[in-house]
Structure 1
Amino acid sequence: MAQVLEFKLPDLGEGLTEAEIVRWLVNVGDVVAIDQPVVEVETAKAMVEVPCPYGGVVTARFGEEGTELPVGAPLLTVAVGGTASSGTAVSGAAGASVASGASAGDAESSEYSGNVLVGYGTAGPAARRRRVRHESTAVAGGGGRTEAKAAAPAPARAPAPVPAPVDGPVPVISPLVRKLARDKGLDLREVRGSGPAGLILRADVESALAAAETAAARPAPVPAAAVPAVVAEGGERVPLRGVRGAVADKLSRSRTEIPDATCWVDADATELMAARAAMNAAGGPKISLLALLARICTHALARYPELNSTVDTAAREIVRLPSVHLGFAAQTPRGLVVPVVRDAGTRTAESLTEEFARLTESARQGTLTPGDLTGGTFTLNNYGVFGVDGSTPIINHPEAAMLGVGRIIPKPWVHEGELAVRKVVQLSLTFDHRVCDGGTAGGFLRYVADCVEHPAVLLRTL
């Protein structure tokens, strides 16, 4: 007898509680293998593929592409065992049961791989497995919000009546849904949930708020003569969610919490560019300019560790960090992201070049993991690629500083007492004034500029 198991959106880690369905990778009726990616989701950290721990036939999917689901909400159901294991589709078969959140003990071990984490496979037997008892619910073909193949379209349903307030716990998983309702003064007991078992989703809260606003703002009829010929629209509204929403929250928090200041200086980068050309002409892997700037940054931070720190506002303490995990700003089709190079201070220029290339390509493909985007201690921002000279960047909270690098272009420059055309770059440092004063920030920036102008300065610390 086939058993229908329910696969829920797993805990995404990093404090994330929701994910948006970007693209389904399987359809109802498809046969899936253990740990096969079944859906691509976007969180506030990254876009990842979610593998399914069950092997069998997909009997239902929950949520259209573009739908935002809370952690713990059903993603799909899979029929395992019986005819399902041989590839026969099972949809609403008599006697089949749904095991909500079933564990390995609820299915044959060959059809379940263990708990699933976003972005990671689960192949291989689990070290320890628990048997969990769950209540079973009969499967109704195409029932609820499942996407099942049907011979005829479902009949239109009458509008649901407004529910009366209920006593007892409110079926809400996502803390963001609770916060949205609380901020708007909405009583969740008066909201009818459209999720499984009456679970209240963000869409339910937004619909209730929209209905309340429509009822409150319904205007009186206006004579046709009083309507102007041209009605101005409110403009396009773009939701702040996913990566864009996460960036907005972080930048707002940075400007709210961090008393930042910026200093800048022009530097003659002619010798640095010549040194890079000589390295690449000598053979071997090519060295990127970003890698050389990263080497300069890490050496400067070793001299000025105040800037490789964070502020514990609750304890009113500055925490100086032992390692440099260097973030770098990368513009992608999904928005600005800041991948992190771990232990940048211990890497060679070749290793840094390779890691920058790997993370940049992952950013463009949208395959960065949450681990690739967190844990940075200092950020290097090369905005010169956009053809601009200077900027006053916002610090990547909770870091204490960011070095900005403008474009490197030929400019008139006094070199060895003579006017010459040199390759000049503007460097800017935005820093948290709580961790240091202008003297420290200026010393750091001046050391960076000296290394750009005279790369041989680095030989003292190699």
Structure 2
Amino acid sequence: MPKVLEFKLPDLGEGLTEAEIVRWLVAVGDVVAIDQPVVEVETAKAMVEVPCPYGGVVTARFGEEGTELPVGAPLLTVAVGAPEAADAESSEYSGNVLVGYGTGEAVRRRRRVRPAPVGAPPATAPGTPSAPAESTAPAASPAPVASAARAEGASPGHARGAVVATAAATAGGPVPVISPLVRKLARENGVDLRGLTGSGPDGLILRGDVESALRAQDQPVSAPETVPVAAGSATAGTRIPLRGIRGAVADKLARSRTEIPDATCWVDADATELMAARAAMNAVGGPKISVLALLARICTAALDRYPELNSTVDTAAREIVRLPSVHLGFAAQTERGLVVPVVRDAQARSAASLSEEFARLTEAARAGTLTPGDLTGGTFTLNNYGVFGVDGSTPIINHPEAAMLGVGRIVPKPWVHQGELAVRQVVQLSLTFDHRVCDGGTAGGFLRYVADCVEQPAVLLRTL
């Protein structure tokens, strides 16, 4: 007989404790190879593909797309072949999955005991499969139920649950429903399941039964959950869950506003000479230098002069911790929300190296392939909101950093140059800083130095 192994959601590193299933890459019955990606999950840091350390046949999946699972929860089970072959490490598991997850030891076979519903008999009815074991092959379920499960897009595990639900309902337990998704659909739309007659085997209530009831009530099938709002405005609003990357950003911004006594100063700068210097660099051939890379190089030079802004506050110890390296974060907008990839040791990079790294991380952000390590450990953030066509902003500090430099769009404006009115390329620079790490004089000095380098790039030559 084949040995069935359970693959659990591994530790994804960086203190992450849960992940949302975005897309299953395999189905029950598929043959998978060792280290083949089987599911795409989104954490608070990034979207990653999770490889399975076992090779064999997928016998069960746990969790629908959109479900959040904690680290250590079962993802799927795999039948890996005969017990003799399963005992060989080279054919059973790879030992190389993700951070903190080892596969050097076979998973113990355990049984999950489900409490019987109130009023139900203590033993399972004859012919009814038992609840699935965490590390054993799924019990064979009756063909009609399995067919219904496939019709609803449910896994065999859900089919087994449906049989148990049927037996429980017969004994006065809960209403028999084919899957939790059907129950959720009914709950969100106010449908009483006890008033429905299930069209599935043994009276199981299917998704189509709930949808038919909704159509009969002349209600939308998937009406969004609503919440009342103030009088005089719309009577309802759509609820959007704050989870994944968007939820993590919301938590970090709220924490920044709560914990950090921030202040903002800003200045307009003539960027004409900076743009001319960039054009000259790119005219000689080779990889193109981006404006963001030049601004990053200016930031690292300014932080060398004003190290107070490359720090963090240890609130427990009541200490300011000045950091030795500049790990420069930059804000990037993606379809899944705002992310802040981090360029490591930015102070040691040239403009060309910074341009290359910005391009790599931006592409990874858009593709959703950033790793947790790409999104953590920043010490200072550069936010180029000028790409949205705005001139200025008051940035929110990326907790637990101490400052963020915001850069508006560079546009032609009237400007007094060498005593005469002229049209120059002007940009607004804004610095939001933690007032605990420095006073306004230090913050103003930093911002003025950045502006001077933007207006006269030759100032940088003194520090290169």
TM-score range, shorter chain: 0.7 to 0.9
Q: Contact between 1:309 and 1:400, CA under 8 Å: does it hold in 2?
A: yes
Q: Which of 103, 109, 114 is matched with 2:95 structurally?
A: 114
Which amino acid in 1 is paired with 2:155?
E
Q: Contact between 1:405 and 1:427, CA under 8 Å: does it hold in 2?
A: yes
2:140 — aligned with what?
141
Q: Following TM superposition, by how much is the alpha carbon of 1:71 offset from its aligned partner in structure 2, in angstroms?
A: 1.0
Q: Following TM superposition, by how much is the alpha carbon of 1:12 offset from its aligned partner in structure 2, in angstroms?
A: 1.8
Q: Which of 330, 341, 345 is matched with 1:328 structurally?
A: 330
Which amino acid in 1 is paired with 2:94?
S
- Provide the C-alpha distance between the structure 2 equivalents of 1:390 and 1:441, rounded to a whole number of angstroms: 18
Q: Describe the shift of the 1:150–1:431 C-alpha distance in structure 2 as closer, same or farther (beyond 3 A).
A: closer
- Provide the C-alpha distance between the structure 1 equivalents of 2:234 and 2:385, rounded to a whole number of angstroms: 37
Bigger mean CA offset, 278-287 vs 74-83 = 74-83
Q: Following TM superposition, by how much is the alpha carbon of 1:403 offset from its aligned partner in structure 2, in angstroms?
A: 0.2
Q: Describe the shift of the 1:159–1:355 C-alpha distance in structure 2 as closer, same or farther (beyond 3 A).
A: farther
Q: Contact between 1:28 and 1:149, CA under 8 Å: does it hold in 2?
A: no
- Provide the C-alpha distance between the structure 1 equivalents of 2:338 and 2:157, rounded to a whole number of angstroms: 40
Q: Describe the shift of the 1:59–1:134 C-alpha distance in structure 2 as closer, same or farther (beyond 3 A).
A: closer
Which amino acid in 2 is paired with 1:7?
F
- Provide the C-alpha distance between the structure 2 equivalents of 1:84 and 1:364, rounded to a whole number of angstroms: 45
- Provide the C-alpha distance between the structure 2 equivalents of 1:457 and 1:27, rounded to a whole number of angstroms: 60
- SS of the equivalent of 2:165 reads coil
- CA-to-partner distance for each residue in 1:267-325, whole Å, 9 max, x for gaps? 00000000000000011111000000000000000000000000000100000000000
Q: Following TM superposition, by how much is the alpha carbon of 1:130 offset from its aligned partner in structure 2, in angstroms?
A: 4.7
1:365 — aligned with what?
367
1:72 — aligned with what?
72
Q: Describe the shift of the 1:410–1:84 C-alpha distance in structure 2 as closer, same or farther (beyond 3 A).
A: farther
Q: Contact between 2:293 and 2:355, CA under 8 Å: does it hold in 1?
A: yes
Bigger mean CA offset, 343-352 vs 233-242 = 233-242
Q: Describe the shift of the 1:56–1:84 C-alpha distance in structure 2 as closer, same or farther (beyond 3 A).
A: farther
- Provide the C-alpha distance between the structure 2 equivalents of 1:121 and 1:236, rounded to a whole number of angstroms: 39
Q: Following TM superposition, by how much is the alpha carbon of 1:109 offset from its aligned partner in structure 2, in angstroms?
A: 2.5
Q: Which of 420, 423, 426 is matched with 1:424 structurally?
A: 426
Q: Which of 436, 439, 443 is matched with 2:438 structurally?
A: 436
Q: Following TM superposition, by how much is the alpha carbon of 1:260 offset from its aligned partner in structure 2, in angstroms?
A: 0.2
- SS of the equivalent of 1:368 reads coil
Q: Following TM superposition, by how much is the alpha carbon of 1:82 offset from its aligned partner in structure 2, in angstroms?
A: 3.3
Q: Following TM superposition, by how much is the alpha carbon of 1:158 offset from its aligned partner in structure 2, in angstroms?
A: 5.1
2:54 — aligned with what?
54
- Provide the C-alpha distance between the structure 1 equivalents of 2:263 and 2:292, rounded to a whole number of angstroms: 24
- Provide the C-alpha distance between the structure 2 equivalents of 1:72 and 1:403, rounded to a whole number of angstroms: 39
Map 1:344-363 → 2, pairs under 5 A:
344-363=346-365
1:303 — aligned with what?
305
Which amino acid in 2 is paired with 1:47?
M
- Provide the C-alpha distance between the structure 2 equivalents of 1:371 and 1:151, rounded to a whole number of angstroms: 39
Q: Describe the shift of the 1:278–1:137 C-alpha distance in structure 2 as closer, same or farther (beyond 3 A).
A: closer
Q: Describe the shift of the 1:84–1:413 C-alpha distance in structure 2 as closer, same or farther (beyond 3 A).
A: farther
- CA-to-partner distance for each residue in 1:363-383, whole Å, 9 max, x for gaps? 001110100000000000000
Q: Which of 267, 270, 276 is matched with 1:268 structurally?
A: 270
- Provide the C-alpha distance between the structure 2 equivalents of 1:398 and 1:151, rounded to a whole number of angstroms: 47
- Provide the C-alpha distance between the structure 1 equivalents of 2:75 and 2:48, rounded to a whole number of angstroms: 15
- CA-to-partner distance for each residue in 1:311-351, whole Å, 9 max, x for gaps? 00010000000000000000000000000000000001111
Q: Following TM superposition, by how much is the alpha carbon of 1:417 offset from its aligned partner in structure 2, in angstroms?
A: 0.3
Q: Following TM superposition, by how much is the alpha carbon of 1:111 offset from its aligned partner in structure 2, in angstroms?
A: 2.4
Q: Following TM superposition, by how much is the alpha carbon of 1:72 offset from its aligned partner in structure 2, in angstroms?
A: 1.0
2:13 — aligned with what?
13
Q: Following TM superposition, by how much is the alpha carbon of 1:84 offset from its aligned partner in structure 2, in angstroms?
A: 12
Q: Contact between 2:342 and 2:377, CA under 8 Å: does it hold in 1?
A: yes
Q: Describe the shift of the 1:257–1:364 C-alpha distance in structure 2 as closer, same or farther (beyond 3 A).
A: same
Structure 2: give runs of 5+ residues left out of the alignment.
Answer: 111-134, 170-179, 193-231
How many pairs are equivalent? 377
Bigger mean CA offset, 130-139 vs 384-393 = 130-139
Q: Following TM superposition, by how much is the alpha carbon of 1:34 offset from its aligned partner in structure 2, in angstroms?
A: 0.5
Q: Following TM superposition, by how much is the alpha carbon of 1:133 offset from its aligned partner in structure 2, in angstroms?
A: 4.8
- CA-to-partner distance for each residue in 1:192-230, whole Å, 9 max, x for gaps? xxxxxxxxx9x9xx99x99xxx9xxxxxxxxxxxxxxx9
Q: Following TM superposition, by how much is the alpha carbon of 1:147 offset from its aligned partner in structure 2, in angstroms?
A: 1.2
Q: Which of 165, 179, 182 is matched with 1:157 structurally?
A: 165
Q: Contact between 1:263 and 1:428, CA under 8 Å: does it hold in 2?
A: yes
Q: Following TM superposition, by how much is the alpha carbon of 1:234 offset from its aligned partner in structure 2, in angstroms?
A: 2.5
Q: Following TM superposition, by how much is the alpha carbon of 1:422 offset from its aligned partner in structure 2, in angstroms?
A: 0.3
Q: Percent identity?
A: 82
- SS of the equivalent of 2:366 reads helix
Structure 1: give runs of 5+ residues left out of the alignment.
Answer: 86-104, 162-200, 215-229
User: Which consecutive segments of 4 or more residues in structure 1 shift more than 6 A?
Assistant: 143-146, 149-153
Q: Describe the shift of the 1:456–1:108 C-alpha distance in structure 2 as closer, same or farther (beyond 3 A).
A: closer
- Provide the C-alpha distance between the structure 1 equivalents of 2:274 and 2:452, rounded to a whole number of angstroms: 10
Which amino acid in 2 is paired with 1:254?
S
Q: Describe the shift of the 1:415–1:238 C-alpha distance in structure 2 as closer, same or farther (beyond 3 A).
A: same
Aligned: 1:402 with 2:404:
yes
- Provide the C-alpha distance between the structure 1 equivalents of 2:441 and 2:168, rounded to a whole number of angstroms: 67
- SS of the equivalent of 2:442 reads helix
- SS of the equivalent of 1:157 reads helix
Which amino acid in 2 is paired with 1:140?
A
Q: Describe the shift of the 1:152–1:109 C-alpha distance in structure 2 as closer, same or farther (beyond 3 A).
A: closer
Q: Following TM superposition, by how much is the alpha carbon of 1:14 offset from its aligned partner in structure 2, in angstroms?
A: 1.5
Aligned: 1:314 with 2:322:
no
- SS of the equivalent of 1:414 reads strand
Bigger mean CA offset, 309-318 vs 149-158 = 149-158
Q: Contact between 2:79 and 2:137, CA under 8 Å: does it hold in 1?
A: no
Q: Contact between 2:21 and 2:64, CA under 8 Å: does it hold in 1?
A: yes
